[in-house]
Structure 1
Amino acid sequence: MSPPSHKQEILALLDAGEYGPALQHALTWLDSSPENTDALYVSGLACLFVEQFDKSIQYLEQASKKNPDNATCIANLGIACLRSGDTGSAISYLKKAIDKQPDYELARYNLGSAYIKNQQAELAIEHFRILTENHPDSAEYLCALADATRETGQWLQSIKLYKKTLAIDTDHSRAHTNMGPLMMHLGQLDDAVEHCLRAIELGPDQTLPRKNLGDCYVQMEQLDEAMDAYADAYQIDSNNAELDVAIGNVWLETADHAEASSWFHKAHLLDEDNIPALCGLAHIEREAGNLQLALDILQPLLKKDPENTEVLLNLSDTLWDDGDAEAALLHLNTVLKLQPQRTAIYAKTGHILSSAGDIKGALEQYRTALAQNPHCIPALNGLATTQRDKLENRYFNTLQELLNPKTRNQQLKPGVLAALHNALAFYFDGNRQFEAAASHMQQANHFQWQHKKTRGWKYDIQTHEDHVTKLIDTFTHDYFERIKTFGSTDNTPVFIVAMPRSGTTLTEQILARHENVLGIGERNFASQSLNQFAGVNNAINLDQLNDITQSAIERLSLNYLSRLKILSKQSNKTGITRVVDKMPDNYSLIGWILTLFPNAKIIHLKRDPADVALSCWMTQFGSIRWACHKEHISHRLQQYQRIMQHWRDVIPDRFIETSYEQLVKHQSDESARLIEYIGLDWDEDCLKFYESDRLIRTASITQVRQPIYKKSVCRWKAYQPYISDLFNVKKTS
């Protein structure tokens, strides 16, 4: 058989899908004619089809050297490099093939694919656009252009292109597969599910459409359905790292951290560079309160891939939990630059801006989200809770329509219902329609607990009462006498302690306007330092304090002060001599704080317990588990009063007390008393706290951004006729 016949026979076998026989014939020919260009070429091509990429590259490189003007050989060499993961060489060879033959469509298509893989989607768009212009009816080329456009963050434009693809070919599997996640990120979950299901019909043996379907169900809070979809995908491919991460995330949603960790570790074993798996492990550390460990995982990932949106979002959440609003917002802004159509991120940004004091910026973010998706629940909730009675009618009507079974087109899940009712509670409260507000508050808390309960939330009043008893039994007169010389004499730390919603933010703002004071918001430093010393299996063993040594206290206090120094340096504020932490729950840690810092200044801020109860009842906290049930709120207040009375009995001269009501009524006198207590000279700027441009973490920022807010005093009386059982806790001295 002549050489041309060899070549044609082998190419015919490849066209027929008989790759094994084709490779055997090609190698036999190559053995007999090792310098033959055609024998090298078909051997390389056959190796490419059977995925022997190194051999394919070897033979095709030799063939292209012998025939340097053969665009087909050079293009297939580029494709072999692309399949082997060498995208740089692939791009070089494919560009060379196109230079020699500009109308070579296969080379141009694969060059676009190589650019996408090399994270150069903008360059891919250029080549796919040429292909679509020459072949406007090609669904495959349109889908490729949509893929590249999606990678640049132009989600709305990519959706238009996918729709054009499906108009040409309604059964285009990849278009349906990729449309699912896009619609999900835009909040159009019903459409997302529809595309995922269609992709599964078209490709029942494909893993990705089933994983995408599971992702959609997670967003819809249908965790059982999500796990079913992931299980179906797992049957197809049990060694898929991305699928393992998705399964781990469901376990994370249900607060089963051990199970979640096992799946994230499995993914990491399959792919040690799998960033979502490492993000999952960081999330577990964050949920456990180990924020520094979470940052230790995430920050190296950001250095390695500074535009990875998953890393950026996890870093933002961790930094926000740590009270660093500015850094959290910085990472969210980066995400929005990369993916400007990601609706939920605008709402998340709005939430942080609102909580941190930039109300105008927050409203702008919420409205941007709603312009993209008028039914974006977090954005609607953010607008309503921020604007209250000033909420525009169109948004109020949308909230009403979403809750009306006759007008909505889907069954809403508890988390969504909680957000909608909470939004309306704030709207009606602002309009002084207290009965309607109370009704929506009741439903919001009911659904919030349902939503959180499926994610592992529980609260046991006896466990908390036992913990308070243990605190009382541990921090006695004898304890303080024993450790009185152990702690650091540094007087930098200042603490504002109280029940949540008692005015800690207002008090911090007054102090932080002083030229020598830095406010650092709500930090977990005190609890983290105690956990560092006495933590056992994510619980505090207070018995260990019986054996605490001076060296241990010195080490912990120095570490604590080093964190304050870092924050002081980052603030760019000069002359700082006092650093104020307003974490409310530190009221239970006053004994520990004075263990570390005997000279620390502690301000206990009281407020009418009925007003505290109402405010906590109205606020949907992200992590406070006792604020959904009235009896839990009442019990928490009782135990708070109990531990504070203990501190008054045991260390009466180690802290001072004021009240929200006193600050409101006698702002100037009380402010002066606080400044004097922390050892500083009076500064008139402390009376202008509302002019601060600092980012603050609080649930009541609209009150802090105006002169003393008096409407919150005795606010509970308006609700007495409707939720009287919330106000059973009596005032104490």
Structure 2
Amino acid sequence: MAIIADKLHKAATRLRKGDLEGAWKQAETARRRAPASPQPLVMLGRIALQAGRYHQAREALEQAVQRDSQDARSLYLLGYACMQQGDPAAAVLHLSAACEVDPELGEAYNRLCAVLGQSGRIMEAARAGERAIELLPDSADAYTNLGSVYEIQGRLDAALRCREQAARLLPSHPRIQHCLANALLAVGQTEAAEKHYRKALELKPDFAPPWRILVRLHRYSNPDAEDALKIREQLEKVPEADRGDLHFALGKIYDDCGVVAEAFEQFQLANRIENARHNFDIEALRTRVDAVVAAFTPEFFRARAGFGVESEQPVFIVGMPRSGTTLVESILAAHKDVFAGGELYWFGELDRLVEQAVGGDAAYPRCVRELSSEHCRQLAEDYLDYLRQLTDGEAYLRITDKLLSNLFHLGMLHLVFPQARIIHCRRDPMDTCFSIYKIKTPDSLPFAYDLENVAHMYNCYRRLMHHWEKVLPQQIMTIDYESLVSNQVDLTQRLLDFVGLPWDEACVQFHANKAMTRTLSAEQVREPLHARSIGRWQAYETFLEPMRKILEQDGLG
């Protein structure tokens, strides 16, 4: 065994020095001499991980775990290998096992937080991340992962604290500076955000993501402005696959300046790059809409009268991206009795929560017919508990939730909260679709990078909203973006009446409110209402014909 220990010591020494080939030879010799021992296999797994050979790492570590299923570090490394291989289910399994075997293994909780967050299991991710920072108080990575989870939850103050701590621990990391800037922007600290975006660019001039947001903090009148020159310089230096953010940024500058052909060329280049990373299946989307419409019928609701909880606290704001949802939330958030929740992810897990509640083989939404009154009451209570955590127990009469995917879940939301108000934000179809195409959206919007796909999505959205307006007419108020811009005071009064709140003059001056807004439009709601975006698509009409044709299939062009 002394020989084995010596070989593994030499392998570890070579691994630290970056001599992967030498480390592998030493570990492989140890494995051949002690085939029943898990330790040489663990070392081989570590070496393969460092080399980026994730399949090989997983193979070695699976064998190690077969030999000793109670070794927490082997389980942790195996979970990490599965993460890197793109197998989140296996990663969660092994990382959870590592945490169970060794509740003090902070690295395992940190990786578990990350993979649960990527899998949409946000509440579990938060618990893992909170344990990780307890065990790893000096880990910028742990604070970064937990900050990302808090942002998804809408806990923006907590997210900002995580981002600030990560930056204190590792101030020279450009991505950490970028994440801190995003968190500052989300809570309305625009000047501080710009400072950290530019700090990220100082640290790494070819780091593209800050540019995409920086240019949205300014209006440009010169296509050769200093920022434009810097972006064009970086376009010549970065690989094509990494140029998407830069093309979006340059397109925004050109759009401000009214150089339409040049702006659209940049938007096209950006979207081609981003679209190659996504797979939007329009038929799958249509099938999903069909299933939702079939499940939530007037008869379904009549048979379940009395389900849920009578709370009026939640206010759900739905609509396409760029349709005015952030604007409406910001108007409400200026009211003293309203908390702006933003895009709360809790109901983003609704499919899984409902399937888990009813059991059986039926998938969502078919399984909703198996829900009992008790199931719905429990879902409602759990969500209200989540809202209490979100507001640190502070009492608000109304809390907004503008998660995009709630559009698909309005039937369930009504079943759970039959008295909750739903605000539908609507905007001119061409303006909406072109506005989506002009910006980089979250990965959860894979349709956004192709003119035809955006139009297909819009048509599906309208079909779904037509259904909800038919089966839930008393609970939905539709607000047209254009009407809100031209008649703000009257529509604000109607909006407050609809959600059951008294008039508050602050709602008209919403742009002066420091309420937190984490969204694509965060920087835009810091200024008064304006009509600049209305009809903006018309300048690009000749380029948008593919989109218009598809919208016209539904009479929307």
Q: TM-score range by the shorter chain?
A: 0.7 to 0.9
Map of 2:477 onto structure 1: 656
Compute the displacement of 1:459 (Å).
2.4
1:640 to 454, 461, 464: 461
Instruction: Please give the per-residue CA displacement for 1:247-291, whole angstroms capped at 9, x wherever unaligned.
Output: 865754664324544665787699775433333333232222110
Compute the displacement of 1:425 (Å).
1.7
Instruction: Please give the per-residue CA displacement for 1:381-429, whole angstroms capped at 9, x wherever unaligned.
Output: 332343352799444323212322xxx3x6x152x12222222222222
CA distance, structure 2, for counterparts of residue 346 and residue 503 of structure 1: 29
Equivalent positions of 1:216-227 (< 5 A) are 226-227=52-53
Q: CA 1:270–1:487 in 2, change beyond 3 Å: closer, same or farther?
A: closer
Map of 2:232 onto structure 1: 400
Give the secondary-structure state (helix, strand or coil) at the position aligned to 1:556: helix
- Say whether 1:581 aligns with 2:401: yes
Equivalent positions of 1:450-529 (< 5 A) are 450=276, 452-453=277-278, 458-529=279-350
Kept in 1: contact 2:58–2:82 (CA 8 A): no
Kept in 2: contact 1:230–1:247 (CA 8 A): no
CA distance, structure 1, for counterparts of residue 379 and residue 102 of structure 2: 37
Compute the displacement of 1:694 (Å).
1.8
Give the secondary-structure state (helix, strand or coil) at the position aligned to 2:424: strand
CA distance, structure 2, for counterparts of residue 340 and residue 588 of structure 1: 41
- Say whether 1:430 aligns with 2:256: yes
CA distance, structure 1, for counterparts of residue 175 and residue 497 of structure 2: 45
Give the secondary-structure state (helix, strand or coil) at the position aligned to 2:243: helix
Stretch of structure 1 that moved more, 527-536 or 242-251: 242-251
Kept in 1: contact 2:187–2:514 (CA 8 A): no
The one-letter amino acid of 1:326's match is D
- Say whether 1:568 aligns with 2:398: no
Kept in 2: contact 1:282–1:298 (CA 8 A): yes
CA distance, structure 1, for counterparts of residue 224 and residue 107 of structure 2: 39
Kept in 1: contact 2:339–2:399 (CA 8 A): yes
1:618 to 418, 438, 447: 438
Stretch of structure 1 that moved more, 516-525 or 685-694: 516-525
Compute the displacement of 1:377 (Å).
2.0
Equivalent positions of 1:51-90 (< 5 A) are none
The one-letter amino acid of 1:700's match is S
The one-letter amino acid of 2:380's match is S
Map of 1:218 onto structure 2: none
Kept in 2: contact 1:438–1:723 (CA 8 A): no
- Say whether 1:282 aligns with 2:113: yes
Compute the displacement of 1:583 (Å).
1.9
CA distance, structure 2, for counterparts of residue 717 and residue 699 of structure 1: 22
Structure 1 vs Structure 2 CA RMSD:
3.6
Compute the displacement of 1:701 (Å).
2.1
Kept in 1: contact 2:139–2:169 (CA 8 A): no
Map of 1:374 onto structure 2: 205
Give the secondary-structure state (helix, strand or coil) at the position aligned to 1:336: helix
Instruction: Please give the per-residue CA displacement for 1:608-648, whole angstroms capped at 9, x wherever unaligned.
Output: 11111112112212222221222221111111110111122
CA distance, structure 2, for counterparts of residue 537 and residue 435 of structure 1: 55
Give the secondary-structure state (helix, strand or coil) at the position aligned to 2:475: coil
Q: CA 1:605–1:273 in 2, change beyond 3 Å: closer, same or farther?
A: same
The one-letter amino acid of 1:616's match is I
- Say whether 1:665 aligns with 2:486: yes
Stretch of structure 1 that moved more, 380-389 or 583-592: 380-389
Compute the displacement of 1:732 (Å).
5.6
The one-letter amino acid of 2:173's match is R
Map of 2:521 onto structure 1: 700
Q: CA 1:706–1:619 in 2, change beyond 3 Å: closer, same or farther?
A: same
Give the secondary-structure state (helix, strand or coil) at the position aligned to 1:496: strand
CA distance, structure 1, for counterparts of residue 360 and residue 518 of structure 2: 29
The one-letter amino acid of 1:322's match is Q
CA distance, structure 2, for counterparts of residue 267 and residue 598 of structure 1: 43
Q: CA 1:241–1:441 in 2, change beyond 3 Å: closer, same or farther?
A: farther
Map of 1:339 onto structure 2: 170
- Say whether 1:308 aligns with 2:139: yes
Compute the displacement of 1:229 (Å).
11
The one-letter amino acid of 2:342's match is G
Compute the displacement of 1:466 (Å).
0.9
Give the secondary-structure state (helix, strand or coil) at the position aligned to 1:602: strand
Map of 2:215 onto structure 1: 384
Compute the displacement of 1:582 (Å).
1.9
Q: CA 1:369–1:205 in 2, change beyond 3 Å: closer, same or farther?
A: farther
Q: Which has the larger radius of gyration?
A: 1
Map of 2:380 onto structure 1: 557
Normalised to the residue count of structure 2, the TM-score between the two structures is: 0.83
CA distance, structure 1, for counterparts of residue 349 and residue 93 of structure 2: 25
Kept in 2: contact 1:347–1:382 (CA 8 A): no
CA distance, structure 2, for counterparts of residue 373 and residue 485 of structure 1: 58
Map of 1:683 onto structure 2: 504
The one-letter amino acid of 1:308's match is S
Normalised to the residue count of structure 1, the TM-score between the two structures is: 0.64
Q: CA 1:445–1:254 in 2, change beyond 3 Å: closer, same or farther?
A: farther
Compute the displacement of 1:707 (Å).
0.5
CA distance, structure 1, for counterparts of residue 173 and residue 517 of structure 2: 25
2:123 to 280, 286, 292: 292
1:326 to 154, 157, 163: 157
Kept in 1: contact 2:140–2:167 (CA 8 A): no
- Say whether 1:606 aligns with 2:426: yes
Map of 2:275 onto structure 1: 449
Map of 1:134 onto structure 2: none
- Say whether 1:542 aligns with 2:368: no
Kept in 2: contact 1:529–1:560 (CA 8 A): no
Kept in 2: contact 1:529–1:556 (CA 8 A): no
Kept in 2: contact 1:500–1:585 (CA 8 A): no
Instruction: Please give the per-residue CA displacement for 1:577-632, whole angstroms capped at 9, x wherever unaligned.
Output: 11121223322222111101111111111111111111211221222222122222
Compute the displacement of 1:177 (Å).
6.5
What's the % identity of the aligned pairs? 26
Q: Which runs of 5+ in 2 are unaligned?
A: 28-42, 66-70
